[in-house]
Amino acid sequence: MTEPKDIVLKESEEIGGMPIEGPWLDEVGSLEEVIDYYHRIGFQATHLGRAIEVWKKVEEKRASGEEVRVFLGYTSNIVSSGLRELIAWLVKEGKVDVVVTTAGGVEEDFIKALKPFILGDWYVNDAEMREKGINRIGNIFVPNDRYIEFEKYMIPFFERVIEMEKERGKPLTASEFIHEMGRFMDEKLGKEKERSVIYWAYKRNIPIFCPAITDGSIGDMLYFFKEERGDRELIIDVANDIVKLNNLAVTAKETSSIILGGSLPKHAIINANLFRGGTDYAIYITTAVPWDGSLSGAPPSEGVSWGKIRAKADYVEIWADATLVFPVLVWKVMKG
């Protein structure tokens, strides 16, 4: 019979590796030095440290002239938050090559160039908010006047698109539609446009793909425009965009996929990479869980089973709110 002490104090094998250790505050002089400990802290801090390492590797390759095409995907709540400006900076500086987002990720970027969103609270009377015409995204408030102002710009923009499509003899794809939104912003808006993702994507000729372009306020404005005018001419083509998006993956020597959140942008990016045998680098930041079988919660290793991420790819998933960790990740990679 095995003795209780032998069960509890079972002899172990020797293992090597990095000791778990956090910063001793008397020995660090800056946040930079604290972040350098992330690899050794454990849990999600270690995953953030690993993400910094993966993205830095991509940046070093790009700086040396190697081609690594960077795909960035994010859901609309990311643009609702202050991460919008970080993404706009990445696009402005040419740190990403392809963007995939939702309709909200497009329209809210435009709307913020007209009027800001306002910091509110999580705990409010939502029925009263509705009476006041104030929409809520978590603790971010968006008064309806933002959408009223947005429509004032969208009506002449839709009219321009109709004329363009007549001249071309074919509809604009969703990515071309968004590119033209950037041109429209450049012409119609002042300095506030310079914090916009759409504006800088237009200036840098970086495509923004939005397969569900009508799933948001843009769709609402299209509905009003078409119903009030009986319009049947304005069409947005999503079929040819899938060819363009997939080919941007297929023709790349290597690809990197950085995805904030899940949903459609995540799948559009990794599915495009399926056609080249999978992405070479992947960084996921998500709060979704895998237990319901959703794509949003699927970890990178599940993508390997589909061929959307290479078996030997450098990949990491950070299970955290992107508003907490993405600023640290971007700063450490780009400035650290």
Q: Which residues are known to be catalytic?
A: 308
- Are 220 and 108 spatial neighbours (Cβ–Cβ below 8 Å)? no
DSSP structure class, residue 19: P
Helices (H), the chain: 4-8, 31-35, 38-41, 43-63, 76-80, 83-92, 103-112, 126-131, 145-168, 174-188, 197-204, 217-229, 239-250, 263-274, 300-306, 322-334
- Are 256 and 51 spatial neighbours (Cβ–Cβ below 8 Å)? no
Quote the radius of gyration of the chain (alpha carbons, Å).
Answer: 23
- Which of 91, 51, 99 has its CA nearest to residue 75? 99
Q: Which residues is 136 bridged to in the sheet?
A: 141
